[in-house]
Amino acid sequence: MLRGDVDSLLLRALALLGLILLSVLLAVVLKRRAGRLRTVVDGDVLTAAELGRPLGAGATFVQFSTRTCTSCRTVRRVLREHAAGAPGVAHVEVDAEDRLDLARRLSILRTPTVVVLDGSGRVTGRFSGVPTPHQVRDAVPHRI
């Protein structure tokens, strides 16, 4: 083998290793952010007419999903259970592919993403990924 071939092979191996490390780092960052509520200041306002469903008097969880999203089923179950047991809280699921206008307006980049609205329809927070029931509970009490 020639020296140039060895250098080229080593360079390719290092590039591959770098891509693997970058992928792992990205996965760790996304995993740490999953389910954590991020507060939104001066958020957009959504209406019942835009969502096609009534808003909750105290809070509304607007879940953006897609047909191929496997995690969306888990989020749907957690949010429905919470809304069923919390007076004044509603859950609305929106297909992000069917409502690209809303997804773009709210900068929805992945599913599942949950936007938390206060009683007037103002966006006050958002989750990306799968929140735990505890995280969902904590997102609402100070808003009702």
Q: What is the pLDDT of residues 4-28, one digit of tens each?
A: 677 888 888 889 999 998 888 877 7
> Is residue 87 helix, strand or coil?
coil
> Where are the strands (E) in the chain, listed by range?
38-39, 59-65, 89-95, 113-118, 123-128
- pTM to 2 decimals? 0.74
Task: Write out the CATH class of domain 34-143.
Answer: alpha beta
Quote the tokens at residue 104: 């773009």
Q: What is the pLDDT of residues 58-89, one digit of tens each?
A: 999 999 999 999 999 999 999 999 999 999 99
Q: Give the phi and the psi of residue 7 in degrees, each rounded to 5.
A: -65, -40
